[in-house]
Every structure is written in C-alpha cells, then in structure tokens.
Amino acid sequence: MAEKGDPTETNDRYIVVATWLNQQMSVEEFGINEIYTVFKNLGWQSSIPVNHSQPLRDLKTKRHFLTKEKGHGYKVNWAGLQYVGKMGATT
C-alpha cells in the first residue's frame, strides 16, 4: 500500500487489493470475501462500507476497471492494472 501512496479512498483501496490479489497471489477471480480478508489483515475492516459490494460494482460499471460475468467473480482488467500502476508514482 505504501508503494501506491497509502490510498484512503475506498474504491482506490479496493482496486489496489484486487490488483495485488491478481499479481502477487495469482488470483484471477475474486469477490468481497477475498477483499474483506485482505482488509482485515491490513486492519482496515472498519473502513469497509455497509454496502460492502458497492465499490466492486462501481469499479466495474463507473470506472471500468473490473469485469464480471454472470455467476463468476470479478477480474481486474487492463485499465485497472494501468490505473494502479500509476498510483503513487512521483514525477
């Protein structure tokens, strides 16, 4: 998280965690359970919104950083990976 500027915005935290799951843990598909587990290990469980799946839906429909097929988990797409790749970068 420090590499990515210690994001405080919920959607940014979700997409960083999703990207970490994908790149470091080789998790192709994920859901709220995986996000919650990482948040809990980071001590962030209190920052998960009441509607805990809404950030995932927002990252899919509004930001277009995730994809999801019916009956399957979310996947980070190229746009999401690029967004996270630029986070915390100093120019």
Contacts of 39 (CB under 8 A, 6+ apart): 13, 17, 45, 47, 48
- pTM > 0.75: yes
Of 7, 24, 5, nearest in space to 59 by CA: 7
pLDDT at 90 over 70: no
Cα 17 to Cα 59: distance, rounded to the nearest angstrom: 12
* Structure confidence by residue, pLDDT tens digits, 47-71: 899 999 999 999 999 999 999 988 8
- CATH value of 2-86 in 3.40.50.300, 1.10.10.10, 2.60.40.420, 3.30.70.20: 1.10.10.10
Given this model, what pLDDT does residue 22 score?
A: 96
Domain boundaries, the chain: 2-86
Reply yes or no on whether the pLDDT at 8 is more than 60.
yes
Determine which helix (DSSP H) or strand (DSSP E) holds 71, and give its type and residue range. none
Are 66 and 59 within 8 A, CB to CB?
A: yes
